[in-house]
């Protein structure tokens, strides 16, 4: 069978891991459409934002991760993906394409399907780890922030150093942090945050190990 006309299962089945594709700016949806035409199932999450036009404000859908989309693929048959218009490379470390964590993609898909307000957020590596107990996001885990009286949970894509914030009701959230953490430990962890975030993040429970910056893999 021609590689360019393989079945969906052969191209993008669950046996293949997720990868992040770097695409030309403002070409995310076009590239995703072409990939679908080839039999892939790309994931290009969107959020609604307000744009000021000359005579009015319009609500538009904008990529949550500008310049990127996600796709399951077989690295042994990556050429059909790489020659897709708009796609520039597969994100990775050095010359090796890097898989995106399955749980991170699943969390994003659940968040998008919930219809709750979301928006891009600066990537965080430390904060109070929480789990949502009720509602359409039940079972999701993320970092809890309190910002201007509004609670948001931050979901992160470690490979891209990008995060997404979604508004949540604090009554449906439980903390996964160690309640017995000593005050000294909390102070030490708090010191690891950038100054601008210290007032936004509550009691810190878990500090995540940093990873190296992502780089584009060679074709």
**Hey, what domains does the chain have and what are their CATH numbers?**
3-100 (3.30.70.940), 102-207 (no CATH)
Least confident range from 43-47, 164-168, 204-208: namely: 204-208
pLDDT at 156: 78
Closest CA to 65 of 31, 17, 114, 16: 31
Mean pLDDT, the chain, whole residue set? 74
Closest CA to 142 of 175, 119, 170: 175
pLDDT at 37 > cutoff 70? yes
CB 131 within 8 A of CB 172: no
Percent over 70 (pLDDT), the chain: 67
Q: Pick the residue with more confidence: 58 or 77?
A: 77
pLDDT at 122: 62
What are 96's strand-pairing partners? 93
pLDDT at 139 > cutoff 70? yes
Segment 12-30 shows an average pLDDT of 92
Kindly indicate the confidence band of residue 169, based on its pLDDT and cuts at 50, 70 and 90. Answer: confident
Least confident range from 114-123, 167-176, 188-197: namely: 188-197
pLDDT at 7: 53
- The backbone region for 39, taken as left when phi is positive above 0, alpha when psi lies in -120 to 50, beta otherwise, is left
CB 97 within 8 A of CB 75: yes
Q: Report the alpha-carbon distance of residue 84 to residue 37 in Å, rounded.
A: 10
Q: Report the alpha-carbon distance of residue 2 to residue 77 in Å, rounded.
A: 11
Helix and strand numbers, DSSP H then E, in the chain = 6, 15
């Amino acid at each position: 069978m021609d590689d360019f006309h393989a079945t969906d299962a052969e191209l993008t089945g669950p046996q293949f891991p997720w990868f992040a594709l770097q695409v030309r700016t403002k070409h995310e949806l076009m590239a995703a459409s072409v990939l679908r035409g080839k039999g892939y199932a790309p994931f290009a999450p969107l959020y609604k934002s307000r744009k000021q036009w000359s005579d009015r404000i319009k609500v538009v859908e904008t990529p949550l991760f500008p310049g990127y989309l996600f796709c399951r693929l077989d690295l042994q048959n990556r050429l059909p993906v790489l020659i897709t218009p708009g796609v520039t490379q597969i994100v990775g470390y050095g010359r090796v394409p890097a898989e995106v964590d399955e749980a991170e993609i699943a969390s994003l898909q659940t968040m998008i399907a919930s219809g709750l307000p979301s928006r891009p957020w600066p990537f965080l590596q430390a904060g109070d780890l929480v789990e949502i107990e009720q509602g359409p996001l039940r079972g999701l885990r993320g970092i809890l922030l309190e910002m201007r009286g509004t609670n948001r949970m931050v979901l992160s894509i470690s490979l891209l150093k990008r995060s997404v914030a979604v508004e949540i009701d604090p009554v449906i959230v439980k903390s996964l942090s160690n309640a017995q953490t000593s005050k000294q430990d909390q102070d030490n962890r708090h010191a690891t945050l950038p100054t601008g975030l210290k007032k936004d993040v509550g009691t810190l429970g878990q500090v995540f190990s940093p990873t190296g910056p992502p780089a584009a893999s060679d074709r």
